[in-house]
């Protein structure tokens, strides 16, 4: 199955990189990116099942996966607010079908047991991770729609831990026996969060090189001219009641242009800003590192074990 894992790596890196570049440039990613990634992921998954000795029952998991994933891109009214009976009936019917299929497969494979059950539980992580993405988005843990959609697409693309040509170098550690509890998509998300921990170190090094390190601002951003603000930044300083105040966690609702103008009028020619880095960027880096290195948390823990 190494060929399929290589294909997963190439496809995932292509779509995620494209989405990251678009997100960095415009803070928007077209839905077509995630639709195409989802379709390719389903195609690779189907190829895996056809070549990997999966039973016909395993293929039924694609029904709830397709319903739950592609519903994200259906531009429709929320069901509870819709006055269209046909829309309510269609959506409710589709999700009932998804639940019935999952319930049937659970009953069937728990009766069958053995390797058939193990394979099914690995496939079941896909709809579970789609639900997790919904929950994270609603809770604000995944703030952008592109972040949630990319996480869902990765869950479909890589339902089992990949391995090819000696990669990953660190392996999967203790997680290798708990693939259904910690799917690859979740490990990728955790690795991305771990990468963000090192962002303050990068800011400190940059500010030291510029000779403008100040704590704690230097952990979260850098200084720039308020008259020529870079695109997609938040101000960490503002004028309030005539005084310069620090705001390490800027509110998104603030008007950056107005706040910058107040700083200019107050005579500040250098102000602290923090870049608006889309989470899709570390998620893309994490995807590649997860394939090539494995579970970064396990690697760090092993250093001190």
- Residues 206-218: pLDDT tens digits? 888 888 888 888 8
pLDDT of res. 188: 92
> Is the confidence at residue 302, as pLDDT, over 60?
no
Question: What long-range pairs does 241-245 form, CB within 8 A, spacing at least 24?
Answer: 242/266, 244/268
In this prediction, what percent of the chain has a pLDDT beyond 70? 91
Question: Quick one: tokens of 55?
Answer: 């039973």
- Residues 221-269: pLDDT tens digits? 888 888 888 888 888 878 887 777 777 777 766 778 878 888 887 778 8
* Segment 160-171 mean pLDDT: 83
Neighbours of 190 (CB within 10 A): 16
| Least confident segment among 26-35, 43-52, 69-78, 240-249 | 240-249
- Residues 74-132: pLDDT tens digits? 877 776 666 677 777 888 899 999 999 999 999 999 999 888 998 999 999 999 999 99
Question: Quick one: tokens of 190?
Answer: 């955790």
pLDDT of res. 167: 83
pLDDT of res. 179: 52
Write out 246-285 in H/E/C secondary structure.
ECCCCCCCCCHHHHHHHHHHCCCCCEEEEECCCCHHHHHH
Neighbours of 195 (CB within 10 A): 16
pLDDT confidence bin for 36, thresholds 50/70/90: very high
> Is the confidence at residue 176, as pLDDT, over 50?
no
What does the alpha-carbon distance between residue 149 and residue 33 come to, in Å, rounded to a whole number?
A: 10
* Better-scored residue on pLDDT, 132 or 173: 132
What does the alpha-carbon distance between residue 221 and residue 233 come to, in Å, rounded to a whole number?
A: 9
In this prediction the pTM is: 0.84
* Segment 154-174 mean pLDDT: 83
| Rg of the chain taking only CA atoms, in angstroms | 23
| Cα dihedral value 13, 164, 6, 62, nearest 10 | -90
Q: With contact defined as beta carbons under 8 Å apart, do 16 and 284 qualify?
A: yes
130 phi, psi to nearest 5 deg? -65, -40
pLDDT of res. 171: 67
| Least confident segment among 77-86, 145-154, 180-189 | 77-86
* DSSP state string for 190-250: HHHHHHHHTHHHHHHHHHHHHT---TTGGGT-EEE-GGGPPSSEEESEEEETTEEEE-SS-
What does the alpha-carbon distance between residue 172 and residue 268 come to, in Å, rounded to a whole number?
A: 50
Report how far apart, in Å, the C-alpha atoms of 250 and of each of 93, 108, 146 are.
43, 52, 22
> Is the confidence at residue 303, as pLDDT, over 60?
no
What does the alpha-carbon distance between residue 65 and residue 49 come to, in Å, rounded to a whole number?
A: 15
């Amino acid at each position: 199955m190494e060929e399929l894992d290589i294909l997963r790596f190439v496809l995932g890196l292509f779509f995620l990189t494209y989405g990251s570049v678009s997100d960095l440039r415009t803070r928007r990613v077209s839905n077509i990116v995630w639709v195409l990634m989802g379709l390719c992921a389903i195609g690779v998954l189907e190829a895996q099942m056809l070549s990997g000795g999966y039973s016909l029952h395993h293929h039924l998991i694609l029904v709830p996966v397709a319903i739950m994933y592609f519903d994200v891109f259906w531009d429709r009214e929320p069901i509870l607010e819709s006055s269209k009976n046909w829309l309510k009936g269609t959506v409710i019917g589709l999700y009932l079908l998804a639940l019935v299929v999952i319930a049937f497969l659970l009953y069937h494979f728990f009766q069958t047991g053995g390797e058939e059950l193990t394979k099914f539980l690995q496939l079941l992580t896909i709809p579970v991770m789609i639900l997790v993405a919904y929950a994270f988005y609603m809770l604000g843990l995944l703030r952008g729609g592109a972040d949630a959609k990319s996480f869902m697409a990765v869950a479909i693309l890589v339902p089992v831990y990949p391995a090819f040509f000696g990669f990953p170098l660190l392996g999967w550690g203790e997680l290798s026996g708990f693939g259904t509890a910690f799917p690859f998509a979740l490990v990728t998300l955790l690795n991305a969060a771990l990468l963000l921990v090192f962002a303050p170190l990068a800011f400190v090094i940059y500010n030291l090189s510029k000779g403008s390190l100040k704590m704690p601002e230097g952990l979260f951003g850098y200084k720039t001219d308020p008259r020529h603000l870079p695109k997609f930044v938040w101000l960490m300083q503002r004028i309030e009641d005539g005084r310069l105040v620090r705001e390490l966690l800027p509110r998104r609702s603030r008007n950056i242009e107005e706040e910058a103008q107040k700083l200019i009028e107050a005579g500040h020619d250098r102000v602290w800003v923090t870049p608006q880095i889309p989470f899709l960027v570390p998620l893309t880096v994490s995807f590649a590192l997860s394939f090539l290195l494995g579970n970064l948390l396990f690697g760090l823990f092993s250093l001190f074990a």
